[in-house]
Amino acid sequence: MRLEVTPKSTQTLYPTDILFQTSFWGRVKSRLGWSVAAFDLALPASEGDVLVLTKRLDEESSMVYVPQGPEIGPDSESYGVFLETLSESISSHLESSAVFIRYDLPWNDPYALDETGGSPYDLKRPENRLREIRMNYSTRCWNLRKAPYDLTVADSLVVDITGTEEEILGRMKPKTRYNIHLSARKGVRVIEADASALPVFYDLYRQTAARNGFPSCDYRHFSALFETKVTAANSPGLFFYLAIHKKDALAGAIIAISGKRATYLFGASANHSRNLMSSYAVQWHAIRNARDQHCSVYDMGAVSPYRDPDHPFFGMYRFKTGFGGHIEHRVGSWDYPLNQEKYDSIRNREMLRSFLMW
């Protein structure tokens, strides 16, 4: 496969709807200890670029991470060949300590593309061993490995927010529309907050993490977002909302807008007063604001790939699918080892969830 890779300044990354491939996101991650690089990519029929991050794991090892990139890519049957070529081309520009490259791919999942006649909510992927066989087919080295975990989201609920507010509401489930109106009748109001309110949000976020049993991010991940300056007219915008009842903050959300896409980054809600449906109020406010900012889609983030009550994201599936939209099934996270022995050791530790804390 012909692919030209040329280093470039991160400040010259092309505008994109993918927040995680913007120079803004590179500056956020730089505040969190990552090294940042960018490359132009040229295929015979298309061109683009890619943001690449590097993180030290110890004195001798580092990992390379491509967050939801590259945006350009081949047809699904050539995914593996493209990634192999790209990895070998980029590797000469990396630190000698780099153990592996992890791609968090935004491309459509070929197993979703293979579905015929079924519901878009019915995707069931085969085991990773079989996925690796398909991904490595036609590659030279058969070196691509499915990562133990998907770093952003392999399955995301995306809502069409074109049309009037009435049309957007009309595409939602009746119960969701009812809850949106109920929160308004109960006196819940949504305000746009600033960084000074982050401690309030973080308290709600920790309540949410404990209630749902998922690991929480450090406070610095939130402060880094708001400490990063917008440097260009086409840079992503950041919006921070809190749902208030009387003087009590009950829910919140942090939304980023890049191009025509609004992305729900973080959400949180209190353990009490859940009957006021404040989370519905926040989401409806975010949707209306994204529409006013000329977005066409609202990416609500992670859900289970189908209606599976045993899946850890099933609660998010039930909540988010109420807003309408469809599930985008993506390829997920894939690794290209550069040092096999060290990679195996890191992978084993990661599978024990004791390493690579993001």
**The total number of structural domains that make up the chain:** 2
Tens digits of per-residue pLDDT, 27-36?
999 999 999 9
116 confidence band (pLDDT: 50, 70, 90): very low
Q: Are residues 260 and 242 in the same domain?
A: yes
Q: Mean of the pLDDT values across residues 227-239? A: 84
Kindly give the residue spans of alpha helices, DSSP state H, lying in the chain.
23-31, 79-91, 110-114, 128-136, 165-170, 174-185, 198-212, 219-227, 278-292, 314-321, 340-351
Integer Cα distance of 72 and 90 in angstroms: 16
Task: Tell me if 315 is assigned to some domain.
Answer: no
Is the pLDDT reported for residue 231 higher than 90?
no
pLDDT in tens, 6-23: 999 999 999 999 999 999
Count of other CB atoms within 10 angstroms of residue 254: 22
> Which structural domain range is residue 267 located in?
162-295
Question: Can you give the pLDDT at residue 101?
Answer: 98
Q: Is the pLDDT assigned to residue 130 strictly greater than 80?
A: yes
Return phi, psi of residue 149, to 5°: -140, 150
CA distance 32 to 54: 11
Same-domain status, 93 and 185: no
Whether residue 235 is found in the same domain as residue 143: no
Contact 336, 143 (CB under 8 A): yes
99 and 25 together in one domain = yes
- Establish if 290 belongs to a structural domain: yes
Residue 355 has pLDDT above 70, yes or no: no
Contact 172, 185 (CB under 8 A): no
User: 3-state class of 193 per DSSP?
Assistant: coil
- Residue 357 falls within a domain, yes or no? no
Residues 121 and 65 in one domain: yes
Residue 322 lies in a domain: no
Residues 142 and 178 in one domain: no
Q: Which of 29-33, 107-111, 116-120, 161-165 has the weakest average pLDDT? A: 116-120
More confident residue, 353 or 179: 179
Residues 22 and 96 in one domain: yes
Per-residue model confidence (pLDDT) at position 351: 84
Give the span between the Cα atoms of 5 and 319, in whole angstroms. Answer: 42
Regarding whether 196 and 236 lie in a shared domain, the answer is yes
Q: What percent of the chain has pLDDT over 90?
A: 85
Compute the average pLDDT of residues 243-256.
Answer: 97
pTM of the entire structure? 0.93
Do residues 60 and 142 both lie within one domain?
yes
Read off the tokens for 180: 């949106």
Q: Is residue 148 located within the same domain as residue 181?
A: no
pLDDT at 119 over 60: no
- Stretch 88-114: mean pLDDT: 93
Output the six-digit token pair for 101.
């490259």
Residue 138, sorted as left (phi over 0), alpha (psi -120 to 50) or beta, turns out to be left
Of 40-54, 116-130, 135-149, 198-212, the poorest mean pLDDT is in: 116-130
Distance between CA atoms of residues 72 and 56, nearest Å: 27
Report the alpha-carbon distance of residue 201 to residue 240 in Å, rounded. Answer: 9
pLDDT over threshold 80, residue 117: no
For residues 65-79, b (16+ Cβ closer than 10 Å) or e, as one string?
bbbbbbbbbbebeeb
305 assigned to some structural domain: no
How high does pLDDT run on average in the chain? 93
Indicate if 60 and 183 belong to the same structural domain.
no
Helix/strand/coil (H/E/C) assignment for every residue in 162-191: CCCHHHHHHCCCHHHHHHHHHHHHCCCEEE
Per-residue pLDDT tens digits for 283-297: 999 999 999 999 999
What is the rounded distance in angstroms from the CA atom of residue 103 to the CA atom of residue 109? 14
Amino acid at position 119, single letter: S
Average pLDDT over residues 79-96: 96
Confidence label for 235 from pLDDT (cuts 50, 70 and 90): confident
- CB-side neighbour CA atoms (13 Å) of 43: 18
Residues 211 and 147 occupy one common structural domain: no
Q: Are 148 and 128 in contact (CB under 8 A)?
A: no
- The domain that holds 270 is classified in CATH as 3.40.630.30
Any domain includes 128: yes
Q: Which amino acid is at 112?
A: A
321 within domain boundaries: no
Residue-wise DSSP of 10-54: GGGPPP-S-GGGSHHHHHHHHHTT-EEEEEEEE-SS-EEEEEEEE
Name the 3-class secondary structure at 310: coil
Residue 143 lies in a domain: yes
Residue 58's SS3 state is coil
Is the Cβ–Cβ distance between 107 and 142 less than 8 Å? Answer: no
Q: Is the pLDDT of residue 232 over 70?
A: no
- The dihedral through the CA atoms of 25, 30, 33, 34 has a sign that is positive
> Six-digit token pair at 229?
């300056």
Whether 7 and 41 have beta carbons less than 8 Å apart is answered as: no
Alpha-carbon span 245 to 250, nearest angstrom = 7
Q: Tabulate helix, strand, coil % of the chain (nearest 5).
A: 35, 30, 35
